[in-house]
């Protein structure tokens, strides 16, 4: 059965050919929620994949008017229970290492 879908070859392009100026071209393009989602998907960094890979839920916060977002993760511990300090530090170290291990290859793509 014939199809009307046209396929084209995916090619690597120099981003400077698409956006000549970061402030006036790229930043306004990236400000769109649709475009930021497209970029995150292209880099392989979407919420579901990130959370599944690392093994915990994050609080994803968009920082309006800025070029970055905030990803927060936490665990409830009592700051007054000093017997748990080693456990707290071990948890923090484990999840920080998991997060760095996940984003490092993505950053290398940039």
Given a cut of 60, is residue 34 above it in pLDDT? yes
The percent of residues above 90 in pLDDT, for the chain, comes to 3
> What is the average per-residue pLDDT within 64-73?
70
pTM above 0.85, yes or no: no
Given a cut of 80, is residue 47 above it in pLDDT? no
Of residues 7 and 57, the one with the higher pLDDT is: 57
First to last CA, the chain: 40
- Domain boundaries of the chain, sorted by first residue: 15-109
CA 24 to chain centre: 23
What's the Cα-to-Cα distance from 97 to each of 8, 44, 54, 57, 94, rounded to whole Å? 39, 18, 9, 16, 5
């Amino acid at each position: 059965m014939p199809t009307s879908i046209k396929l084209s070859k995916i090619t690597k392009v120099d981003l400077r050919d698409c956006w000549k100026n970061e402030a006036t071209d790229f930043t306004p393009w990236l400000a769109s929620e649709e475009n930021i989602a497209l970029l995150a998907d292209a880099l392989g960094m979407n919420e579901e994949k990130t959370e599944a890979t690392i093994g915990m839920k994050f609080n994803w916060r968009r920082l309006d008017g800025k070029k970055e977002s905030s990803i927060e993760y936490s665990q409830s511990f009592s700051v007054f229970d000093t017997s748990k300090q080693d456990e707290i530090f071990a948890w923090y170290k484990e999840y920080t290492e998991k997060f760095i291990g996940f984003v490092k290859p993505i950053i290398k793509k940039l």
